[in-house]
Amino acid sequence: MYRICDREGALLYVGMGRNPAARWASHSEQHEWWQRAARFRVEWFATRKEAAAAELEAIRSEDPECNIYGRPGWGSTCTRSTCRSSGWTGSLRQARREIDM
């Protein structure tokens, strides 16, 4: 799991992936908020399920500015077009399914 912050330390995004550098490269090509990214912290977990659960908890409790997944209403009234779309990533839906298993 990783956290991306701006220069002042404000949390922009929480995500997860086996290869954080590859995910960051993807974010850099897809999201305008990436231009503000300045600090990166990685936290490793024994399993993907543990990482996905920690990611969801971090999104809910730390309120990163650019995340969509994990926020109240996600999957019901909250959609890519009605929420903060700059942080949306479809791969997190798979992580959510793994948590619920």
Convert the pLDDT of each residue in 9-58 to its tens digit.
Answer: 999 999 999 998 888 888 888 888 899 999 999 999 999 999 999 999 99
Q: Check: CB of residue 45 under 8 Å from CB of residue 99.
A: no
The answer, as to whether pTM is greater than 0.75, is no
Q: Which helix (H) or strand (E) holds 24?
A: helix 20-30
Please write the tens of the pLDDT for every residue from 68-80.
877 665 554 444 4
| The pLDDT of residue 100 is above 70 | no
What is each CA distance from 89 to 7, 48, 74, in whole angstroms? 23, 17, 12
Torsion of CA 16, 91, 100, 18, to 10 degrees: -30
Q: How far is CA 77 from CA 51, 54, 94, in A?
A: 26, 24, 19
